[in-house]
Structure 1
Amino acid sequence: MRVGMQVGTITTPRHRLTGEALARVAEQAEQAGFSTLAMADHFSLRPESTPFIPREENAPVVTEFFEAWSTLAFLAARTSRIKLTTLVSGITMRYPAVLIKTADTLDALSNGRAYLSLGASPDFGLDEHQRMGLSLPPAGERVARLEEVLLMAMQMWSGQDAPFTGTYYHLSSTVGTPFFVQQPHPPILIAGHGNKMLRLMACYADVVSIGFGRDFDAMRERLTYLREQCEQLQRPYEAIQKTTFFTLPIVRDGRLDPVALDMIRELAEMGFDEIMIRQVSDEATFDLLASEFVPLINGVSVGGR
């Protein structure tokens, strides 16, 4: 099993991020053996509109984020092994052909360490979209658009000299030579949980992000449905890597929490190849994760592997 880290890129008047601080986090994560650096792909969010930003007294009206893909490119230059991804990029946030080209470029410049990480954009992003001048169609349409984006990526990566004509997106031609290093292309990471999303995962994903490391019954149901969809497509279920964002505390009172460790082992038995944890702020906790937690989890076998 592997351990990835989501790097915080929130910046506030009281907490101004610097490039050197971010680079130091990335370098330490790579040295500690973390598998992946991931970051949320948002521009700015109102705390009251989102489930994951704590509401603080006298907090700013909006919470600002560093732009994710340019931050990943910056961190690619300061690292050499760790994988780089958003978790994940909503397909309504950028014009899809530009997003595909961005991931292609990052894979080339990082020597094969980028994911094309996509989702159908969360409902809580309506305010963000409106303030950025972006359209947020209904959920069903967003899923349909996501499938078109995946088909667009495949055609752009093929270098085929042909137009791309979908219901929502149109390109006059996809001729050209992609830059990517990984073969047959940068891994496609899709995050989501509904049945429509799981069907897309079975068809297109190399990696799936499911759940938040809790409500195991629901996660098992989603994995079962994903397996059934793979069987219908005659695609090996084991070909898809599984990751989940583990949000529960891992360290308590200066020690690894045995309850959290048991839960992570259970996730491995379920077939999860990777857990993603949040960046920690204090050095003592990070040192404990680096010296004990990451080596321990790296030694955990994954069910079905």
Structure 2
Amino acid sequence: MRVSLGVTNFTWPAVNELDAIARQADEGGLDTLWVADHLVQAEPGTEPTDPMLEAYATLGHLTAITERIRLGAMVTAVSFRPPALLVKAVTTIDVLSSGRAWLGLGAGYHQGEATMMGLPLPATAERFEQVEETVRLALQMWSGNDQPFTGTHVSAQNPIGRPLPATRPHPPILIGGAGEQKTLRLVARYAQACNIFDIPDGGRTVRHKLDVLARHCDTENRDPAEIDKTISTRVLPTATIDDITAQLTRLTDLGLDHAVVITSGPWQRTTLNTLIKATTRVA
């Protein structure tokens, strides 16, 4: 079981507390530092006016203060940025971090945020088509092919992607969400990782979603073992090492490879230290 840190809340008394949290996660051996990609605060129990840093500027900053931990957005709503700009941002992070970037992508959902910030949020079917076309554009740019790209929703006359990413053949792609007809099919076709949710039902939903993914992999002639099966799970700030160890063990037993751990409110160094110790136990 690999364990990553998910940062969804930036309401520390001093914003540079993020630096301390990032360095602690890096030195503690966690796999990836994920930041939520919203322009307004969207965590349950918060207000939209609470502090929220833009994801890719934040990830660029984190490349300079960390050494080994991977970096990604969990996840970018596909319609919120021009596709070529998104690919270029991820490529830049990958180059500056010497090959530690993810492309985390999803169809998006937050109509309130889109309305407040003047961002597009097309109909659901169109957004899923945009996800597929954005991934295809990314793969083309990362291969060094700058020929015209023409899709139904995504087009680029001369999509130059230089420099190429440090990660070869390309940064890993995570497609977030658990939709059985579209999302998990796209994971099976294109992605190196999925991200599903920790539903408190004894594991029934998680097992079912992994079975659906396996069936899509069979249709796509893909080995399910090639896909990093990640799950977003929450720990309380008061959780003990034993609590988190049991939680991670439960997820491992469900067939998951990678836990993305979030907490209520901003991460505290004490809670992160407990997570790191539990991760060492599970490993």
* 2:144–2:160 contact (8 Å) kept in structure 1: yes
In structure 2, give the amino acid aligned to 1:167: T
Q: Is the 8 A contact 1:213 1:267 kept in 2?
A: no
Q: Cα–Cα, structure 1 residues 184 and 83, in superposed 2: closer, same or farther, change >3 Å?
A: same
Instruction: Give me the whole-angstrom Cα distance separating, in 1, the residues matched to 2:26 and 2:199.
Output: 23
Superposition map of 1:165-180 within 5 A: 165-180=150-165
* Cα offset, 1:172, TM superposition: 0.6
SS of match in other structure, 2:231: strand
SS in structure 1 opposite 2:79? coil
Deviation per CA, 1:159-218: give whole Å up to 9, x if none: 223211111111112245343111110000110111210000000110111113633211
The answer to whether the aligner puts 1:226 opposite 2:210 as a matched pair is no
The answer to whether the 8 Å contact 2:245/2:281 transfers is: no
Q: AA paired with 2:167?
A: Q
Contact 2:195–2:230 at 8 Å: present in 1 too? Answer: yes
Q: Give distance in 1, aligned partners of 2:62 and 2:2.
A: 20
Q: What TM-score, normalized to structure 2?
A: 0.91
Q: Is 1:24 aligned to residue 24 of structure 2?
A: no
Within 2, Cα distance between the matches of 1:234 and 1:96? Answer: 27
- How far the C-alpha of 1:16 sits from its partner, in A, is 4.9
Which whole-Å CA distance do the structure 2 matches of 1:162 and 1:105 have between them? 21
Q: What are the residue-to-residue correspondences of 1:38-187 with 2, within 5 Å?
A: 38-45=34-41, 52-55=43-46, 62-122=49-109, 125-187=110-172
For structure 1, the 5+ residue unaligned runs are 300-305
Q: Which residue of 2 aligns with 1:270?
A: 254
Equivalent residues in 2 for 1:150-299 (5 A)?
A: 150-195=135-180, 196-212=182-198, 214-215=200-201, 216-249=203-236, 251-252=238-239, 255-258=240-243, 261-278=245-262, 281-290=267-276, 292-297=277-282, 299=283
CA drift of 1:138 comes to 1.4
Contact map agreement 2:22 2:33 (CA 8 A) in 1: yes
Cα RMSD (Å) of the superposition?
2.0
| Per-residue deviation, 1:79 | 0.6
1 CA distance for matches of 2:269 and 2:64?
24
Q: Distance in 1 between matches of 2:39 and 2:120?
A: 14
Structure 2 CA distance for aligned equivalents of residues 201 and 17 of structure 1: 38
Residue type matched to 1:43 in 2? L
Which residue does 1:303 correspond to in 2?
none
Cα distance in 2, alignment partners of residues 165 and 232 from structure 1:
26
Whether the aligned pair in 2 keeps the contact of 1:190 and 1:209 (CA below 8 Å) is yes
- Amino acid across the alignment from 1:40: A
Unaligned runs of 5+ in 2: none
Measured at CA, do residues 25 and 61 of structure 1 come closer, stay the same or move farther in structure 2, by a change above 3 Å? closer
Residue 9 of structure 1 deviates from its aligned partner by 4.5
Asked if 1 retains the 8 angstrom alpha-carbon contact of 2:7 and 2:267, the reply is no
How far does residue 251 in structure 1 lie from its aligned partner after superposition? 4.9
Change beyond 3 A, Cα 1:227–1:214:
same
What are the Cα deviations for residues 122-180 of structure 1, in whole angstroms up to 9, with x where unaligned?
2xx11211222211111121111111111111111122232111111111122453431
Change (3 A) 1:61 1:74: closer
Q: For residues 165 and 112 of structure 1, do their structure 2 counterparts lie closer, same or farther at Cα, with a shift above 3 Å needed?
A: same
Helix, strand or coil: the match of 1:38? Answer: strand
Identical pairs, percent: 35
Residue 67 (structure 1) shift: 0.4
Letter of the 2:231 partner, please give it. T
Q: What letter is aligned with 2:142?
A: W
1:226-245 deviations in whole A, cap 9, x for unaligned?
Answer: 00111111111100011111
Q: 1:127 to 1:231 in 2, by over 3 A?
A: same
Q: TM-score, normalised by structure 1?
A: 0.85
Contact 2:63 2:97 in 1 (8 A): yes
Q: Report the structure number with the largest CA radius of gyration.
A: 1
Task: State the AA in 1 paired with 2:222.
Answer: R
Aligned partners of 1:285, 1:263: CA distance in 2, in Å?
15
